[in-house]
Amino acid sequence: MWRETIQTTSAPAAIGPYVQAVRAGSWIIGSGQLGLDPTTGQLVPGGIEAETRQVLGNIAAILQSAGLSLSAIVKTTVFLADLRDFQAMNAVYAEFFASNPPARSTVQVAALPKGARIEVEFWALVE
């Protein structure tokens, strides 16, 4: 199967032995993104809303580098450090996916890298 690594400096570099995303056939599978500023590599200040905006902006930058937009996403998985952040995260998420949103799972996890409140991974379809 044909496989291509997707990398952009407009999104944070991977903090481990993985890449931002991989294109495999008609799919782009995105590694989990945190609310990291791509310039500093640090979490953005401002809580769950700011981190959610940054995460989705990072995902948009990765997709843009592959010639796609957020509308190509068919599935996301949202990992929250605290489900009490669900409503605030969901309000910001809805700003990015106002119509025809992708399928989504949201789960609480014990902890996320760098003390993040949210991590999002995605699957996008290349048509």
* 3-6/21-24 β-pairing: antiparallel
Residue 47 belongs to what domain range?
3-125
Q: How far apart are CA 109 and CA 87, in angstroms?
A: 16
The answer to whether 78 and 93 are in contact (CB under 8 A) is yes
CATH code, domain with 19 = 3.30.1330.40
> Mean pLDDT in the chain?
97
Residue 1 confidence (pLDDT) above 80: no
* Closest to 92 measured CA to CA, from 123, 54, 62: 54
Q: How far apart are CA 2 and CA 47, in angstroms?
A: 39
> What integer is the mean pLDDT of 22-30?
97
Q: How far is CA 87 from the centre of its chain?
A: 18
CA dist 125 to 22, 49, 51, 74, 106, Å?
12, 27, 25, 7, 20
- What percentage of residues in the chain have a pLDDT greater than 90? 95
pLDDT, tens digit, 9 for 90 and up, residues 2-19: 799 999 999 999 989 999
pLDDT, tens digit, 9 for 90 and up, residues 30-77: 999 999 999 999 999 999 999 999 999 999 999 999 999 999 999 999
Amino acid at 87: Q
Q: Which residue has the tokens 């929250």?
A: 80
The answer to whether 116 and 72 are in contact (CB under 8 A) is no
The count of structural domains within the chain is 1
> What integer is the mean pLDDT of 104-115?
98
CA dist 22 to 8, 32, 97, Å?
12, 12, 22
